[in-house]
Amino acid sequence: MSLRKPWRELDRSLVSQVPDRYALYELGDAAGTTIGFGIGALPDELREVLAYGEGTEFHYTTDAADVGDPAQIRWELANNKPHAEQLLAEQLDD
C-alpha cells in the first residue's frame, strides 16, 4: 500500500521546508515505484536518506535491485514516535 499523498522531489532544499515532527515517510524511485517506508523525525530522516540512501528506521518493501535510487518522498505526520510506529505497522501489514 502507498500513502495517498503527492510525491515530492527528494533534494537538499526540502530538508528546511519539512516540519520538525515525527512522520511515516515513503521513498520512491524516479518512476514513482515505492522502495519502502521509514519513520523518524522528518528533517533528520531526510538528511540520512540524502547522505546514505535510507533512513535509520527504514523498511524496504521491494527488492532494491528492482527499483532505482530514492528520488521522491511523501509523508504522513505523526503525533509522536509511537504513533509513527503504528502508522508504519499499518503500511507493512497492507
The CATH number that applies at residue 83 is: 3.40.1440.10
Does 3 map to a domain? no
Q: Domain total for the chain? A: 1
| pLDDT score recorded for residue 64 | 61
| pLDDT score recorded for residue 77 | 97
β-bridge pairing 8-9 and 34-41: unpaired
**In order along the chain (94 residues), what is the average pLDDT of each group of 10 residues?**
92 95 95 92 94 81 75 97 95 82
Does 2 map to a domain? no
- Domain with 26 in it: 8-93
pTM for this entry: 0.90
| pLDDT score recorded for residue 80 | 97
Distance CA 44, CA 91 (A): 21
Distance CA 85, CA 8 (A): 22
Burial class (CB in 10 A: 0-12, 13-18, 19+), 36: buried
